[in-house]
Structure formats: C-alpha cells, structure tokens
Structure 1
Amino acid sequence: MARHVLPSVDSTMNEAARLAPGLSGSAWIFAHEQTAARGRRGRDWRAPAGNFSATLVMRPEGGLAQAALYSFVAALALEAALAHVAGPHARLSIKWPNDVLLNGGKIAGILLESLQGGAQLAIGIGVNLAHAPPRNELEPEAMPPVSLAGESGMVVPPEEFLPMLAQAFAHYDRQFRDYGFDAIRNAWLARAARLGEEITARTGAQTYRGTFETIDATGALILTGPEGRRAISAADIFF
C-alpha cells in the first residue's frame, strides 16, 4: 500500500482530498506535523510534532452506509496498535462512535469523510503519542485528554507507529470484508467503554439518558431509558 510522508501539512484530511483523484488504490498520508487539523463537526484538533497524524484513503465496497462502518474498523485497529506499545497494564477501551480511551482519558480520535462523490473514503486518525492538549482548551464536558507518554512512559516516534497501525487496520479490514460487520461488531463490543452503564447522548438540541445496551447492525448506539429502547445513529456521548 502506498504511503505519502510529509514533514508538515495543513491537514492530512485536506491532503487526502487533494491527492484522491490521482490515487489508483489505497494510500496512507502521514504528516509529522499538522497546522490546521480538525476533528468531528469541524472542531479543532491539536496535532503538534511528536503526535501521530495520518489519513487513509481507500475505496470501500458498498455504499455510504457500508463506508460509515469503517469507523469501527479503524477504532479496533487503533486499539490493537496502542495495546502493542502501551504495555500490559494500560486500560484501553473504545468510546462510541470513534474515540479510543487510555486509562479513562481520550488518547485518539477518528474522522471519516467521503471523497469523489462517495467513491473514496478518507479515514483521519490522530493519536496523542507525546502530548495531550491542555484541558482548558477543550469544551467543559469533553473527555480528559491523555497521551501515551504521559500515561505509560512509553516514547513511540509517530513514524514507527504508522506500520503498526497499518498492519492492524489491514487485519480488521480483512475481517470486515470476509465475515461482514458482525465480526467487527462483536470485537468492538468486547472493547466498548461503559457498555451496560448509564450514559448521556446529545443529538443537536435533544438529550437522552439511559443504559448503553449495544450497537446494532448499522453501528447505531442502542440506548434503553425511561422512554424505552432508542437507536441513535449520531450523537455526542458523555459519561
């Protein structure tokens, strides 16, 4: 698989959009530094040197609904790669829909965007390998940020993390293609943060509180509360 390595870029997602028309297959776009990185819903994402920033451009099988399920594939790959470097005592989990937690704090995020009218998919991944942003720069109810170095003492250069992540992603991508989303769903649920516990989901102006029961075949979160069982396809989740 092709890899494009850049010393600095505004955003690997932006670079993915620029390169996508000329790509015949999948490619990782890796940058040592991002100057204008973004997260979900246009939020800023701090990406200083020493942290990991990359975007995978690929051509998923199926339509947009199938492509959206790659957030779960990417989360599993991230969790596996971090488990490899964080040591045996690290507590890793995955927060729906697309964050990876280390010892209860957010260490990584995933962003999906469609390219070329949906023909290609960009999967942006940011990992706090060396630095976590100051808490006062985040929204008041945001998950506390952590870094791999701060939590485990492990120093992993971003360029060394890339092949670990690429290998893990290839493994779960094969699982998805060969066995469908059920295999991914089961593996994801085994690592899900706060499964079976009470959480809060906010979808625009609506707030729902209930027990995180499972995710369904579309990746929607199933919340059971006073008003019954509800499927939520997009929301911000708070513990």
Structure 2
Amino acid sequence: MGLEPLPWPEGVGRVILDEVDSTMAEAARRAPALDRPTWIMAYRQTAARGRRGREWENPPGNFSATFVYRPGGTPASAALRSFMASNALFEALAMKIDRDRLALKWPNDVLLNGGKVAGILLESTGSAGQVDWLSIGIGVNLVTAPTGVEGASFPPVSLEQEGGQPCDPHELLSMLASNMATEERIFTELGFGPIRENWLKKAARLGEVITARTARDEITGRFETVDEAGQLVLETPKGRVTIPAADVYF
C-alpha cells in the first residue's frame, strides 16, 4: 500500500509549467501580482542556476520548483529561511530513503551518501531594509544526476540511483509544501531557535574539522555550530571564527 498524498496547504497557490527558463526567473516575473504564497514547479528548465550564478542541470524527471511569498521582515530574517527550507526538504526526502544516509551541508545543500542530491537558492527584493518578496528555489536530483561534473568535491547523485524509492515531482512538491507550511509556522510563532536546533541535528560533519572557503580566505577548523544569525562557527587554532558566507569542504 502506498502512502496517501499529503493535503495541499490552505491558502497556498500552485503553478505547474511544462517548460520555463528557470523557476526563479518565473517567480520574479510573477511575484508583483501574486496575492498568496505560491509554488512554481516546472518539468523542464532551459536556464536553471544555482548559488553564485552557477549552472544547475535539470535532466527530465528531476525536481525544480520555487516557493515565492512575502514573509516581511529584514533581509537577515529572510536569509534564515534557507534553514527552514533545508529541514523541510530533508524530511521530504527521508520519506523515500533511510534518513541516516542524508545530511545537511551548510549553508543550503542536501547530501545523500556524501554526494549532492539537492540544492537550495534564495533571492529577495525589498527596500528600506525590509523584504518585499522572497523566492526559495529547490532543485532535487530525483532520477538522474548531472554528468560531466569533473573534480566536484561533492559529486552529484540522484535519489533513485542511490537506492531511494521512486518519487514523482508532484509527490515531492506536496510533501515539500506541507513541510514548508509547518516550518513557516514554527518560525513565525517560535523564532529561529527550533529551526536551528532541528537543522543542527541533521548537519554534516558537526564537531569535525572542515574548511570554509570565502571570496578572500580559506579557514579550517572544527565545525562548532551555526549561530542565531545562521552563520557558520569554527573553532580554529587562532580562536573562534564566525563566517557569514562561504563554500564548505571536508
């Protein structure tokens, strides 16, 4: 017997497209006219992108969607929602594969057996120190992993190729939407604390030595925690170092 599909969250819109340049670009185009939080999913993207403008391949059968809404608050508060999305995505994938094989890599990747199975990208617009709207893009290798990625520290893997149960993009979208609605309620009512605690329970290499590579520096130290601002905290020979943005390697 299969699991019953999760109910779609009340008050949340859903747009399904056959093809688009990227769901993030589509979210930016639609955001000014939206009257409710909305998920935008596409079967095919022709110009998908990841963090820092990197290309994100999207073979057929994989998952690409963006959640766009108006959370209010500051850009710093909006940025913390990457952890919320990571928790929601982890729990959705854990319905399809042993959760012990999954881990969250700071700031916003999901690892499966040490390879990258999913990535999260945040973009926002606003003025006067306030966020107007926030887009959270999520890409998941459900069926196949991109090929030709040479020398990747975290080579791409797919859920199916690593032994996970088959997962249709629509099914993942429903799980994600339900989980995100729950995470947003926690964030709104209780703040970042519970989100952060849940994320740390799933964090890759917590307590171990890792390397954070910023635009200007490379810092190696013991991964101590993520602080209340979502920053990476490393204990190094020169003391405690707090890092707001970097690529992590181990």
Structure 1 length normalisation: TM-score?
0.95
Superposition deviation, residue 60 in structure 1: 1.3
Structure 1: runs of 5+ lacking an equivalent: none
The verdict on how the C-alpha distance between 1:238 and 1:183 changes in structure 2, with shifts beyond 3 A counting, is same
Structure 2 contact 72–133 (Cα < 8 Å) conserved: no
Contact 2:220 2:236 in 1 (8 A): yes
Q: Deviations over 1:81-136 (max 9, x none)?
A: 000122x36511100000011111110000000035430000000000011112x3
How many angstroms apart in 1 are the aligned matches of 2:153 and 2:140?
A: 16
How high is the sequence identity, in percent, across the aligned residues?
56
Does residue 95 of structure 2 align to residue 95 of structure 1?
no
The partner residue of 1:133 within 146, 149, 164 is 146
Q: CA deviation at 1:137?
A: 2.3
Work out which of the residue numbers 21, 32, 44 in structure 2 matches 1:21: 32
Query: Which letter maps to 2:22?
Result: S
Output the aligned Cα RMSD: 1.2
1:204 counterpart letter in structure 2: A
Q: Greater helix share, 1 or 2?
A: 1
- Residue 124 of structure 1 corresponds to 137
The aligned amino acid for 1:137 is V
Q: Does 1:174 align with 2:185?
A: yes
Deviations 1:145-178 (A, max 9, x none): 1101001242211112100111111111111111
Partner of 2:211: 200
Q: Distance in 1 between matches of 2:176 and 2:216?
A: 36
Of the structure 1 ranges 108-117 and 36-45, higher mean CA displacement relative to structure 2 is found in: 108-117
User: In the alignment, residue 54 of structure 1 is paired with which amino acid?
Assistant: A
Q: Deviations over 1:171-222 (max 9, x none)?
A: 1111111110011010010100000000000111310000000010000000
Structure 1 segments (4+ residues) deviating >2 Å: 115-118
Give 3-state SS (helix, strand or coil) of 1:137's partner.
Answer: coil
Letter in 2 for 1:30: M
Specify which of 141, 154, 159 is matched with residue 170 of structure 2.
159
Alignment of structure 1 residues 1-239 onto 2, 5 Å: 1-86=12-97, 88=98, 91-115=101-125, 117=127, 118-134=131-147, 136-138=148-150, 140-239=151-250
Q: Which 5+ residue runs of structure 2 have no aligned equivalent? A: 1-11
Residue 238 of structure 2 aligns with an amino acid whose one-letter code is E
Query: SS state of the match for residue 32, structure 1?
Result: strand
Aligned letter for 2:124? S
CA distance in 2, matches of 1:182, 1:173: 13
Shift of 1:19: 0.3
Corresponding residue for residue 8 of structure 2? none
Q: Secondary structure at the match of 1:72?
A: helix
Give the number of equivalent residue pairs.
236
Contact 2:59 2:146 in 1 (8 A): no
